Amino acid sequence: MTSVLVPLAQGCEELEAVTITDLLTRAGVEVITAGLDEKPVVASRGLCIVPKTHLSKISDHLFDMVVLPGGLPGADHLRDDTSVQNILKNHARNNRYVAAICAAPRALTSAGLLKNKTVTCYPGALDEVKQDGINITSDSLQIDGKIITSRGPGTAMDFALTLIELLEGPEKKQQVEKALVR
């Protein structure tokens, strides 16, 4: 079974976290949500999310994909967390997918994964980054090799459906999308 890790940080964007987790689960993907601390995650607008596990318990596991929800200050917590950074680097070294939406590409820059990549993000989220070779677009979704990025909450559904297509194929994406009655 395909497996995806979704690290959840305090202050994450709930629309992104829930949409990603929900749609991947509908596609039959094993989704492991992992908190950076032992507390329930209080998202950016107050929604309380209880992760399945703590990040330290699965940090050595290799997943088919790691997906980072954005939001602030959640994206900055992902960027600053040593375990998240190690997981991202390990998955990139092992040629696994790494995806980030909204401000979460900040964590990818800290891991050194965006050099010579074309990415998208929430407007202004990467303005502070002065890393050589990062091409930032205003597209709603960007795929560059094994790096997938998206703009923000409004693109979360298309982002999650694209992740399904990459992991499970176009038929599964169409099946999930049809059931959503979009």
pLDDT in tens, 74-113: 999 999 999 999 999 999 999 999 999 999 999 999 999 9
Q: Is the pLDDT of residue 130 over 80?
A: no
CA–CA dist 114, 106 (Å, integer): 10
Q: What is the pTM for the complete model shown?
A: 0.97
CA–CA dist 138, 55 (Å, integer): 32
Q: Is the pLDDT of residue 131 over 90?
A: no
Fold of 3-174: Rossmann fold (3.40.50)
Q: Establish whether 102 is a catalytic residue.
A: yes
Domain boundaries, the chain: 3-174
